[in-house]
Amino acid sequence: MLRFLILINLLFIQIANSQAQSTLGVIGQWREQYNNKSVQHIIKGDKIYGSTTNQLFSIDNKNNIELFGKSTGLHEIGIAALAWDELEQQLVIAYNNSNIDIIKGDNIYNINDIVLSNLYANKKINDIKVLNQWALIATTFGIVVVDLKKHEIKDTWFPNNNRQAIITYQTAITKDSLYAVTEEGIYSAPIKNNWVAINSWNVINAYQNLGIKKISSNTNLVTVYNNNSVFQLPSTLPIINTTSSNIQQVTIAKDGTILFTTNHDGQGALNKLNADKSITALVDSTILGNPMEILVDGNNFWIADSANGLLFKNNKSQWITLAGPSEYIKGKSSINDKLLLAPFNGNANGFSVFNQSGWKNYTSINNYKFPICIASTIDPKDQSWWFTTSTGIVHYNSTTATTESGTPSNLNGTYKDLQFSANGNLWVLQVNQGLWQKKDNAWKLFAPPSILIKSGLNKMILNKQGQAWIITAKNTGLYIYQSTEVYPTELWKQLTTSKSSGNLPSNNVTCVVEDRNGSIWVGTDNGIGIFNCGDISKEICDASIPLISNTNKFVGQLFQKETVNCITVDGANRKWVGTNNGAWLLSADGLELIEHFTKDNSPLPSDTLLQIMIDPNLGEVFFNTNTEIVSYRGNATAGVIVQSDIAIYPNPVAPEYNGPIAFKGLVENAIVKITELSGRLVFETRALGGQAIWNGKTYEGKKVASGIYLVFVRDDLGNEKGVGKVVITSGL
């Protein structure tokens, strides 16, 4: 008997729902779903600007938060440095791969000369400072000068005066001098007419061999510092010296006050150096984790903390929530038409939940702290949430505000996966044991025979035929457990690459999914096999391996020699396939390539896909990569059983709108006809699942005139029918 610990209380949400959640766009639009817990940079421009590990954000004077990414026109993820150009009112962004973007109003200018150059093996950008119309980009080979008016590279400066590559960590600017902290020491050069002459650099010998890598300035005050000491030029005596923690950043306020952050063993502090050389803690280590940068804005302090996020301090301290899951999603997520349930797994306790209100992150329910959750599923009956862990199962019911945790037995083995069958029973996969079934509140174990390896049981899916398809240890193929829910014979069977015993394209199986027709699609490290098996106690269960052709020049197996990490089925029975080379959308039979998204042609942050999930109601496709999550508004949704009102969006259609017009809430694969009021047919199409798309044009490709158009929907048998209307406003 499974014994549960039951806790009834209010759910504690550690990270509040974000004010910055981007809204769902039209079909074909993307939005980032990034983890924004780690804030790296913070600066002041016309707004407050900052960056997390992979995303840019802004905060205006009304505390409205806006997020920016590749979906809004940026060219990269992974921000190395930020700077504000006051003269041109534009933001300069340097990325970890050495690319540069400049945002001015609604325009984004890209400068990719450094990333494309082959002159230097290491081209990392360390820092940006703005000198009049020039952005001074400190790199691992020197200082690249960018013309901020022309948005182009003007020159490269080498502080060692010999035009040899020199690692430059940071620069600082005073009224008449430019300072550069390099691998060879600290250099200075006079500024004349907002420019630095070639070979005019001088080394400051007093600070050699002190491990100085950082510098800050304000007017004519300059400080340089290492991990433990801060020096104010030209003195060689430290004004701050500490051995108990590392100095992260020093900032000189407009009034000359010196502020600095420290960190040690996951704790940080913001400190003020007083006139008598004593130190006052402004924000102590009970709040900060790993402070990276400080922005002083009048009496306000903004602190970028890589461990905890963005802290705003005035009279009191307040963490600013920036949206997204609070940890990277490494567990097996589940999704339905209401929410996405995403366990953190890895080394992080708890999970995230996403719906159209945004992300919420769960770590505890008052006295109950969630463990590391591996896989999730949603009970279709009561919408409660279930998770597997290394030691048992966790169940949370939001309706009753109860959390249950426990195990079916004392048998050893991690609980890897779980799913509800079509008849409402819960099945759980346990390493070293087999399959547990929870039926009528009683648990029963179905163990594989001794000839099958149980130590590598990993993932599973339950199909409509009462069979569990189980991914097991590497290079051992696939297991099927056939219950007696549909067929009379209970049986375990192993499928391999052998004929009449599976015909898999590889014995290293990576993913399994059932499509809308009941076919089982199996991904391996050598492509895809498709199964259409009945009673495996009576029939051979072999995969068919689709052959694809490309303009009759190439014929090969589907994704041959490609590792297929995940497969997901959309509302039109099309297949989304995730590999190490991007995300692919295939036709229902897999023979036609419809889309191929990569990090180079889309907002995907990485080409390595871990899991793809689809909201059946909205058609939003979530791509969980090995770095971050992004989503894409697809054009297929699940069909309804009974045709009722037709949802049309946008409606009315604005004159300037040139995107797709969608008809949603249709019976599956419905025939959709669009006519004028007179009855003249304008366009006809088929729904993709439960959604049809119209581009606002006639068969001849001409934009239709403004007016009211009727929309007629029916299924193939003519039993389910619906009528709607769409208004095209003047100008389309």
Tens of pLDDT, residue by residue over 281-308, are 999 888 999 999 999 999 999 999 999 9
Phi and psi at residue 564, to the nearest 5° = -95, 110
Question: What percentage of the chain exceeds 90 in pLDDT?
Answer: 84
Is pLDDT of 312 > 70? yes
Q: How many residues does the chain have?
A: 732
Is residue 128 within 8 A of residue 81, CB to CB? The reply is yes
The residue type found at 632 is: Y
* Beta carbons within 8 Å of 617's beta carbon, 6+ residues apart: 337, 637, 638
Dmax (CA) for the chain in angstroms is 90
The residue type found at 12 is: F
Question: What band does 353 get if pLDDT is binned at 50, 70 and 90?
Answer: very high
* Beta carbons within 8 Å of 601's beta carbon, 6+ residues apart: none
Mean pLDDT of 524-549: 94
Is residue 250 within 8 A of residue 223, CB to CB? The reply is yes
Is residue 478 within 8 A of residue 513, CB to CB? The reply is no
pLDDT at site 21: 64
Is residue 692 within 8 A of residue 663, CB to CB? The reply is yes
pLDDT at site 718: 87
User: Tokens 């701050």 map to which residue?
Assistant: 240
Is pLDDT of 16 > 90? no
* Beta carbons within 8 Å of 57's beta carbon, 6+ residues apart: 20, 36, 49, 50, 51, 65, 66, 67, 68, 322
Buried residues in 118-143 as b, exposed as e (16+ CB within 10 A): eeeeebbbbbbbbbeebbbbbbbbbb
Distance CA 620, CA 231 (A): 54
Distance CA 543, CA 522 (A): 9
Is pLDDT of 191 > 50? yes
Distance CA 494, CA 604 (A): 36
pLDDT at site 5: 39
pLDDT at site 315: 87
* Beta carbons within 8 Å of 456's beta carbon, 6+ residues apart: 431, 472, 473, 474, 476
Whether 705 is covered by a domain: the verdict is yes
The 8-class DSSP code of residue 645 comes to P
pLDDT tens figures, 108-159: 999 999 999 999 999 999 999 999 999 999 999 999 999 999 999 999 999 9
Is residue 289 within 8 A of residue 270, CB to CB? The reply is no
The reported pTM is 0.91
- C-alpha gyration radius of the chain: 30
Count of domains forming the chain:
1
CATH number of the domain that 681 lies in?
Answer: 2.60.40.4070
Nearest to 289 by CA among 269, 313, 271, 260: 269
User: Tokens 């509040």 map to which residue?
Assistant: 16
pLDDT at site 637: 93
pLDDT tens figures, 570-629: 999 999 999 999 999 999 999 999 999 999 999 999 999 999 999 999 999 999 999 999
Dig out the tokens for 471 from the structure. 């991914």
The 8-class DSSP code of residue 69 comes to S
Is residue 210 within 8 A of residue 172, CB to CB? The reply is no
Question: What band does 569 get if pLDDT is binned at 50, 70 and 90?
Answer: very high
Phi and psi at residue 70, to the nearest 5° = -65, -30
Sheet holding 527-531, edge to edge: 509-514, 520-524, 527-531
Whether 681 is covered by a domain: the verdict is yes
Is residue 48 within 8 A of residue 63, CB to CB? The reply is no
Whether 43 is covered by a domain: the verdict is no
Question: What percentage of the chain exceeds 70 in pLDDT?
Answer: 96
Distance CA 616, CA 621 (A): 9
Phi and psi at residue 446, to the nearest 5° = -115, 105
Of 4-18, 56-70, 401-415, 467-481, where does mean pLDDT reach its minimum?
A: 4-18
Question: What band does 693 get if pLDDT is binned at 50, 70 and 90?
Answer: very high
Is pLDDT of 269 > 60? yes
CB atoms within 10 A of CB 453: 14
How many CA atoms lie less than 13 Å away from 244 in the CB half-sphere?
6
Is residue 295 within 8 A of residue 43, CB to CB? The reply is yes
Is pLDDT of 2 > 90? no
* 380 class by beta-carbon count within 10 Å (0-12 exposed, 13-18 middle, 19+ buried): exposed
Question: What band does 47 get if pLDDT is binned at 50, 70 and 90?
Answer: very high
pLDDT tens figures, 395-449: 999 888 889 999 999 999 999 999 999 999 999 999 999 999 999 999 999 999 9
Is residue 217 within 8 A of residue 131, CB to CB? The reply is no
Whether 720 is covered by a domain: the verdict is yes
pLDDT tens figures, 196-208: 998 899 999 999 8
Domain span holding position 683: 647-728
Phi and psi at residue 235, to the nearest 5° = -70, 145
Question: What band does 731 get if pLDDT is binned at 50, 70 and 90?
Answer: low
Chain mean pLDDT for the chain: 92
pLDDT at site 655: 86
Is residue 58 within 8 A of residue 97, CB to CB? The reply is no
Whether 374 is covered by a domain: the verdict is no
The residue type found at 495 is: L
